[in-house]
Copies of this chain bind each other. A is one copy, B any other.
Amino acid sequence: MKEYIKIHPWQIVEEGFHRENVKVSESVFSIGNGRMGQRANFEEDYSGETLQGSYLAGVYYPDKTRVGWWKNGYPEYFAKVLNSVSWNQIRVEVDGQVIDLNQMEPLNFTRTLDMKQGLLKRAYRVVTAKGIELEFDWTRFVSMKRKNLGVIALSIKASADCQINIQSKLSGDVHNQDSNYDEFFWQDTQAGVEGSQLWVTQETKKTNFSIAASSLHNIVLDTNSYTVNLSTEDRGSLANFNVRLEKNQELQLQKYTAVCSSMYGPEAELRNSAHAEAQEASHVGLAALLREQSQEWARIWHNCDVEIEGDDEAQQSIRFNIFQLFQTYTGDDSRLNIGPKGFTGEKYGGSTYWDTEAYCLPFYLATAPSDVARNLLVYRYNQLDKAIENAQKLGFTKGAALYPMVTMNGEECHNEWEITFEEIHRNGAIAYAVYDYINYTGDTGYMAEYGLEVLLGISRFWSQRVHFSENKQQWVMLGVTGPNEFENNVNNNWYTNKFAVWCLNYTRDQIHLLQKENPKRFAEIASKTAFAASEITRWDEITSNMYFPYDADRNVYLQQDGFLDKELIPVSQLSADQRPIVEHWSWDRILRSCYIKQADVLQGFYFFEDEFDLDSHKRHFDFYEPLTVHESSLSPCIHSILANKIGNSDKAYEFYLRTARLDLNDINNDTCDGCHITSMAGTWMTISKGFAGLRVRDGRLHLSPNIPQKWKSIRFNIRFRENYLRISLYKEQVEVENIEGPSLLINSWGVDFQVEPKQSKRIDYAKK
C-alpha cells in the first residue's frame, strides 16, 4: 500500500521524487494508444532500478518454456509481449556531467499523467557539480490519431552558461527481463542514418514480425550555437547534439518517432512508411500534434468519461482506469486482444486470458461502437480451430473445443498443468460473452454467423469433460481449478459445474432457435460441425442431473467437494505479516487453507444472479467474503458489485476503492511489474453494474442506482443498441438524456419510464 500519488480529478501526480517507487511509477504513468505503448521510463539516464519497456500491439515472441518436469500436452512455448525498439533514450550531459536522477537530488520534481490530454510530463530542477541550476521539462505522448507516432519534447534552461550534450537514441538493442534463457528475441537488426533521420529495422526470431522505426529531431534555440552529428551504433543509431546554452536561454528539442510493424503493412514498405510518418509529424509540428492529441482524448472522454461529484479520489481513480483501458485497446483490430498488463509490463506475456470476456467485454459494449465488442468475440471465433486442436491434444474428440488459458494466436501457451489443463472455466466465460454481447446489443445475427459454432465446440467439451458417477448417481466433473487459483485439482468446483450446465442449456436453446428461424444456416453449421441431435439428448441428461456441492446446514453451495473439511478461519484473524499469503506461505499451505484468492462461487452469483434470490446472495456473500484475500486484481470489483446488490454500501465502496486504486496505491505490492489493465474494466463495472445497477433484461435497459454516501452524483454516457445516452445518478433520482436514437423505455428499480429522442427525463426512484 503506497500513498504517494496526489489526488487530482484529471491527473496522476507525483510531487517530489519518490526514488523508492520508480518501478511502480514507470507502470502507473505508462502511455499507449492501443497500437503501441511504453512504460514511463525516464528519457535521460537513470542508474537506479528500472524495468525498461516499449511494446507494439500483436508483436510477440514464443519464448521456449521453462518446465521442471514435462507433462504430456504442455505447450512448447510461452508467448511473450516483446520489448521493442526503444525511442525514449535521450542522454543529457551538462559540462560533461550526465544527468541521472539516481545520482542527483532533483528539486521541485513533478511527474504528471495528464489523462485529459493523454500526455506524460515531467519537470524538475537539478544543480550540477559546478553549481549550475538546470530546469528540465519533458513532455511525451504516443499519438491517439497517428497510431505509429511517438513524440518527445524537451526544454532545458540553465542558470548560467554551460555546454550541453544530448545523445538521442533509436535503439534495437532491447531485451525482455523475463526471457527464460536470456535469449535476444530479435534478429537481422539493421540501423543507420539517412539524411536527418535515424532508423532501425529488425525482425523477431521464429514469428518473423518485422518492424521499422524512424526518428527525426527538431531543435529550437535562438542562437546557432550548436552542432548535430548523426551516427550508427551497434543495433541502433544516434543523434548527437552539442549546444552552447546561455544563461536563462531555453533549449527546445523535439523528437518524432514513427514505428511501423508488419502487423499493419508489407515488410518491404515499413522503412519508407516509418520515415514518411516521422517526416510528416515533424512538418505538422509539436503544437499541432498536441492539439490533435488533446482533441482525440476529448472525443474519448466525451463518450466514456465517468464523472463522480463529491469524491476526487474516486474521480481520479475511475478516470485512471478508463484512461489505461483506452491506451491498451481501441477495438479496431480483431487480431488484437487485451493483455492483463497492456503495454505497462512484461508479466503475463501480453497474452489473452478469460479476463477479456469476463471483465473487459461489458466495458467496451457500453462505451464503444458495437463492432469493438464484436471484434473481441470474432477473435475467439477465429481461434476456434485451434481450440479444437487444443482439446484434441488433451484427449477430447468430435469437435470439442477447449480455449486456451493464455494465448497469443489461439494456441495454449501457459504450462502449469493445474492452470492449462484444469482451469477450464474459461470456456464458460467465452460462451457467456456470446450471450452477453447479443443480450446487450440485440445483434442476434451474430449467433448464426459466428456464435453458435463457438458454443457448440464448448458444449461438446463440457459434455465429454463430465461423467456419470455411479457412486453419486449424478454427473460430476473431477480435477478442475476454479477461478480461485488458491485451489488446484479439486472435484466439482461449483462455479465450473454451474457454467457447464449453463453452456449446455444455452447452446441447446440456441440450436433450437436457429433450427426454427434459419433452418438453412443451421443445416450449414450442422453439416460443417457434424452435429447430431443425439448430442442434445446427452446434454439434457447431464443438465437435469448435475451434481452441485451444497451444505444443507448453512444453505450454501460449496466451492468444491470437501470445502467444509478446511479450517474456516476468517481472513480478519490472519496477522498482517502473513499477507499477501502468496508471498508468505508455501503453496501446499495455501491450497489446504480456506483462503480464496478471488471470487469463485460469488463469481457464479455475479454471472447468474437472476437464478438466486437476494437472501441467497446474502448468505453466500457472508459465507465466502470473510474467507477471501483478494490476491487477484479481479476480485474486489466483483465483490463491490455484489455488496451493492445486497445493500452493503460500505463494503461496496471499500471494494470500489480497492479495485480502482489497485495500481495507484500499489495495493498488491506488484504494480512494479505493470498495471492490472483487465481488472480496470472491472472497476468500470463497479460503477455501471454496481452503483448504477445497470442491467439489460429482455432487451430492456435497467438502472437501479445505489450510490455511495460520499458521492453527490455519477454521470456517464453509454451506448445501448440504437441509443446513445447520458446517465446522471443522484441520491434519489435518476436522469437519462437520450442523446441519439429512438424513444426508449427504461426501468429503474421496477419503475418504467420513457425517454423521448433528444430529451432528458429525471425521475425519483424508490429502492426496493
Q: Is the CB of A565 within 8 A of B78?
A: no
Could you say which of B72, B489, B491 contacts A488, with CB atoms under 8 Å apart? B489
Complex CA gap A68/B420 in Å reads 12
Asked whether any CB of chain B lies closer than 8 Å to the CB of A394, the reply is yes
- Minimum CB distance partner of A474 in chain B: B565
Complex CA gap A56/B466 in Å reads 51
- Minimum CB distance partner of A394 in chain B: B586
CB neighbours of A478 from chain B (8 A): 562, 565-566, 591-592
CB neighbours of A592 from chain B (8 A): 478-479
Q: Is the interface of A mostly helix, strand, loop or mixed?
A: loop
Q: Is the CB of B416 within 8 A of A585?
A: no
Cβ distance A72 to chain B, nearest Cβ, rounded Å: 5
Q: Is the CB of B393 within 8 A of A72?
A: no
Given A65-B68, A489-B488, A489-B591, residue A395 in contact with residue B585 (CB < 8 A): yes
Q: Is the CB of A584 within 8 A of B68?
A: no
Asked whether any CB of chain B lies closer than 8 Å to the CB of A712, the reply is no
Asked whether any CB of chain B lies closer than 8 Å to the CB of A753, the reply is no
Asked whether any CB of chain B lies closer than 8 Å to the CB of A574, the reply is no
Q: What string of 1s and 0s marks CB contacts (under 8 Å) between A470-481 and chain B?
A: 111000101100
**Interface-centre pick from A471, A564, A585 (highest chain B CB count, 10 A):** A471
Complex CA gap A78/B469 in Å reads 40
Given A66-B67, A489-B489, residue A479 in contact with residue B591 (CB < 8 A): yes
Cβ distance A549 to chain B, nearest Cβ, rounded Å: 11
Could you say which of B71, B421, B566, B588 contacts A421, with CB atoms under 8 Å apart? B588
Q: Is the CB of B491 within 8 A of A72?
A: no
Q: What string of 1s and 0s marks CB contacts (under 8 Å) between A546-579 and chain B?
A: 0000000000000001101111100000000000
Q: Is the CB of B567 within 8 A of A467?
A: yes
Complex CA gap A68/B78 in Å reads 9
Asked whether any CB of chain B lies closer than 8 Å to the CB of A612, the reply is no
Asked whether any CB of chain B lies closer than 8 Å to the CB of A583, the reply is yes
Complex CA gap A400/B164 in Å reads 64
- Minimum CB distance partner of A581 in chain B: B72
- Minimum CB distance partner of A489 in chain B: B489
- Minimum CB distance partner of A590 in chain B: B72
Could you say which of B68, B72, B472 contacts A582, with CB atoms under 8 Å apart? B72
Q: Is the CB of A471 within 8 A of B585?
A: no
Give A446-471 interface residues, CB cut-off 8 Å to B: 467, 469-471
Interface size on A, residues (CB 8 A): 47
CB neighbours of A749 from chain B (8 A): none
Asked whether any CB of chain B lies closer than 8 Å to the CB of A73, the reply is yes
Could you say which of B65, B395, B472, B567 contacts A565, with CB atoms under 8 Å apart? B472
CB neighbours of A226 from chain B (8 A): none
Q: What string of 1s and 0s marks CB contacts (under 8 Å) between A501-514 and chain B?
A: 00000000000000
Asked whether any CB of chain B lies closer than 8 Å to the CB of A589, the reply is yes
Asked whether any CB of chain B lies closer than 8 Å to the CB of A422, the reply is yes
Complex CA gap A65/B393 in Å reads 27
Asked whether any CB of chain B lies closer than 8 Å to the CB of A181, the reply is yes
Cβ distance A196 to chain B, nearest Cβ, rounded Å: 44
Asked whether any CB of chain B lies closer than 8 Å to the CB of A69, the reply is yes
Q: Is the CB of B417 within 8 A of A72?
A: no
Asked whether any CB of chain B lies closer than 8 Å to the CB of A713, the reply is no
CB neighbours of A472 from chain B (8 A): 565
Cβ distance A470 to chain B, nearest Cβ, rounded Å: 7
Q: Is the CB of A71 within 8 A of B417?
A: no
CB neighbours of A565 from chain B (8 A): 469, 471-472, 476, 478, 491, 561
Asked whether any CB of chain B lies closer than 8 Å to the CB of A608, the reply is no
Q: Is the CB of B471 within 8 A of A395?
A: no
Could you say which of B68, B181, B467, B470 contacts A415, with CB atoms under 8 Å apart? B68
Given A65-B68, A562-B561, residue A587 in contact with residue B469 (CB < 8 A): no
CB neighbours of A561 from chain B (8 A): 561-562, 565
- Minimum CB distance partner of A66 in chain B: B66
Q: Is the CB of A72 within 8 A of B479?
A: no
Q: Is the CB of B588 within 8 A of A422?
A: yes
Q: Is the CB of A587 within 8 A of B66?
A: no
Q: What string of 1s and 0s marks CB contacts (under 8 Å) between A69-96 and chain B?
A: 1011100001000000000000000000
CB neighbours of A395 from chain B (8 A): 585-586, 589
Q: Is the CB of A587 within 8 A of B67?
A: no
Given A66-B67, A489-B489, A591-B489, residue A586 in contact with residue B470 (CB < 8 A): no
Q: Is the CB of B564 within 8 A of A71?
A: no
CB neighbours of A421 from chain B (8 A): 586-588
Q: Is the CB of B73 within 8 A of A586?
A: yes
CB neighbours of A489 from chain B (8 A): 488-490, 588, 591
Complex CA gap A416/B78 in Å reads 19
CB neighbours of A585 from chain B (8 A): 72, 395
Q: Is the CB of B71 within 8 A of A68?
A: no
Cβ distance A721 to chain B, nearest Cβ, rounded Å: 41
Given A181-B181, A565-B469, residue A71 in contact with residue B415 (CB < 8 A): no
- Minimum CB distance partner of A393 in chain B: B586
Q: List 23 A-B contacts (CB under 8 A).
A: A65-B68, A66-B67, A67-B67, A68-B68, A68-B416, A69-B416, A71-B587, A72-B582, A72-B585, A395-B586, A395-B589, A421-B586, A467-B567, A469-B564, A470-B568, A471-B564, A472-B565, A478-B562, A479-B588, A491-B562, A561-B561, A561-B562, A561-B565
Q: Add 17 more A-B contacts to A66-B66, A71-B586, A478-B591 (CB < 8 A).
A: A66-B67, A66-B68, A68-B68, A71-B587, A72-B582, A394-B588, A394-B589, A395-B589, A421-B587, A469-B565, A469-B566, A471-B564, A478-B592, A479-B591, A488-B489, A489-B490, A489-B588
Closest 3 CB pairs of A and B: A73-B586, A479-B592, A421-B588
